[in-house]
Amino acid sequence: DGYYHSRWNKCIYSSHDLSDMVFIDNYIFNKDVYIQFNSTVGKYVGYTEHGVKNAQAWNSDGRLQQERAEVERV
């Protein structure tokens, strides 16, 4: 009955000074995460064949620097 695509990002932390903050940016297709940026890992990781291809491309273009800058902004 169609396709479902969504994206969510959030910061997870437990300390008051945010020193342990982790920024996560998920790309979801039909309720499955296919690619994710995790600030602890520092790059995009693909979880499906399509996600792996995108992760390789996104890690080599300017998108990765944008995500890292987003971590610093937040």
* Tally of structural domains, the chain: 1
pTM of structure: 0.81
Identify the domain containing residue 29 by its residue range: 5-72
| pLDDT attached to residue 74 | 67
CATH number at residue 30: 3.10.320.10
Both tokens of residue 47?
């979880």
As a whole number of angstroms, the distance between CA 54 and CA 61 comes to 11
pLDDT in tens, 42-72: 999 999 999 999 999 999 988 888 888 877 7
Give the number of other Cβ atoms within 10 Å of residue 17's Cβ: 7
| pLDDT attached to residue 41 | 93
pLDDT in tens, 13-42: 888 887 888 999 999 999 999 999 999 999
As a whole number of angstroms, the distance between CA 64 and CA 58 comes to 6
| pLDDT attached to residue 6 | 95
As to burial, measured by CB atoms within 10 angstroms (0-12 exposed, 13-18 middle, 19+ buried), residue 60 is exposed
